[in-house]
A = this chain, B = another copy of it.
């Protein structure tokens, strides 16, 4: 451990001269190709070990015009919804020998666009965009510039990108039906960012179902906010100042629901007695909230895993499997039914990973 001399990287040529062969021979050994004598192969192996040679994948990629990398764009890595997607995607990528560039774009469309361009400049072999906020037009133009692309939580034409989605409209429907069955009649919604497509789908599902069941959901009880705890808290505060007669609150996601629960507690509003609260996503901590949160389970790890699989398929020109759709599942907890014994559904669920 002497003072650090920035380790000048050993090259193929270094190994070659050390072993007294040509670079091609070393290349063949490194890549496990045959056409190299046992003698030579051994000598080269020794030289590689002695010098600590590691192939420069960047240079290799320049020649092959593929980089062995993929880009993964998420809107907010601190929202517990995303790390699971990232893990799923990364597991598959790592297993296939790819390395993942992560871009956390902070709900900012400009940064999203910049990130997509930066990834292009890095010549990633493909990109996955999770919950992108760009308009269809801009997004698709940017994705088309990439060799392969997949969008998560959004749809795109098959020529532009694969799509791995959740039927959010159904999720919203399940939530509203549940509230209706519990006798709730006066709904309010903490909606997420205006540019969220998933959010829009959910709103549509809620509105449809509310109309069918004859539930109140007037526009002034629909508040947009940032999809964070603080955003949820602020949105809940605004809502409660405007309307007093709400008996059920649908939230864009669990993180906003967390903020809402806090705000309700601060104001002495009882959940679920006064207001029932439903989240969305089923983040791992949703069942630890006070009260535990009724929500829609989304298979996030699978979302990431399949997104990466579809991407790898598309990178290799296999475009068959173009769109994967998951169904969300209603998880009933205390925030809608109170602190009775948990039902069988919740017990089953609580044993999952």
Q: Spell out A's residues near B (CB within 8 Å).
A: 1-4, 6-7, 9, 52, 54-59, 61-62, 65, 67-69, 72, 77-78, 80, 82-84, 86-87, 90-91, 94, 99-104, 111, 115, 117-123, 140, 144-147, 157, 159-160, 229-230, 258, 261-262, 284-285, 288-292, 353
Contacts and interface: CB of A to CB of B under 8 A. Distances in A.
Contacts of A86: 77, 102, 104
Given A7-B145, A94-B115, A230-B353, 13 more contacts: A2-B159, A3-B159, A4-B159, A54-B145, A56-B121, A56-B123, A57-B121, A57-B123, A90-B103, A100-B101, A101-B101, A229-B284, A258-B285
Q: Report how many copies the assembly holds.
A: 2
24 contacts: A1-B157, A1-B160, A4-B159, A6-B147, A7-B147, A9-B65, A9-B123, A54-B117, A54-B120, A54-B121, A56-B121, A68-B122, A69-B101, A69-B122, A77-B83, A80-B83, A90-B102, A94-B111, A99-B103, A101-B101, A102-B102, A230-B353, A288-B288, A289-B289
A117 B15 CA distance: 18
A3 B146 CA distance: 14
Contacts of A7: 144-147
A251 to B, nearest CB: 14
A114 to B, nearest CB: 8
B99 A100 contact: no
A99 B58 CA distance: 15
Contacts of A72: 102
A87 B103 CA distance: 9
A204 to B, nearest CB: 24
Contacts of A145: 7, 52, 54
Nearest to A257: B288
- Of A65, A84, A160, the most chain B CB neighbours within 10 A belong to A65
Contacts of A65: 9
A122 B54 CA distance: 10
Contacts of A58: 58, 61-62, 67, 122-123
B62 A59 contact: yes
Contacts of A292: 290
